[in-house]
Amino acid sequence: MTEFWAKKIYTLEGFQKQNIFEGKKVLDVGCGPRKLPGAIGMDIKKEPGVDIVHDANKTPWPFSDNSFDLVLFNQSLEHLEDIEKMLNEAWRISKKGGRIVAQVPFFRSPDAHGDPGHRHVFDSRSLSQIPNSKFLILAFWYGWPHPSKNPLRQIFKNFIHRFPNFYDRYLSILTPVECLTWELEVLK
């Protein structure tokens, strides 16, 4: 059974507050002041938690090839200019078999449109539409990657995961999720 970093980062209690990456090298791209504990934080401006001040739109990033076990885009991919270019840069600095976890606002979520810095919106197909043989999409979740404690909500989650196109096009008008989460495996 595949073990997912996304489930450890986005916990039932909220965003992970402890370093869970013993012996792993992790990059948090666009971390701002909310860097994932145990990660190297890279952001365009110096804030608490930012270790490397660098504009992620400018490649190459200041890291060696094949150096990270995990690259996290936590509510940051939507701010970047070219998604495919950013994923290719994450691929370059990731080790073979490394992971990329991306969480973004869903296109119908108010959060997707409330920030003038957002350059992209996402639906369930967004990352699978990028022609790329460098990644394998291991998992996709509407919202956080955990079952709901509410049985009715879990039935709804099961339904929308089974029929994502129907949800994206129609049902999400009535009940939009806040975010989308992907976990990718780096192929080299």
pLDDT of residue 77: 96
The helix (H) or strand (E) run that includes residue 188 is none
pLDDT, residue 114, reads 84
Q: Residue 51 in contact with residue 26, Cβ under 8 Å?
A: no
What CATH number has the domain bearing residue 160?
3.40.50.150
pLDDT of residue 133: 81
- What value, to the nearest 5°, has the Cα angle with vertex 172 and ends 169 and 177? 135
Which pLDDT tens digit goes with each residue over 22-78?
999 999 999 999 999 999 999 999 999 999 999 999 999 999 999 999 999 999 999
Query: Which whole number is the average pLDDT over 8-34?
Result: 94
The structure tokens listed for 83 are 């998604």
Residues of the domain holding 79: 5-186
Structural domain count, the chain: 1
What's the average model confidence in pLDDT over 155-181?
A: 96
Please, are residues 4 and 16 in contact by the beta-carbon 8 Å criterion? Answer: no
Provide CB contacts within 8 A for 96, sequence distance 6+: 66, 186, 187, 188
For residues 90-99, give the mean pLDDT.
Answer: 97
- pTM to 2 decimal places: 0.94
Nearest alpha carbon to residue 92 among 71, 66, 69: 66
Residue range 99-119, pLDDT digits in tens: 999 999 999 998 888 888 899
Is-contact 5 99, C-beta < 8 A?
A: yes
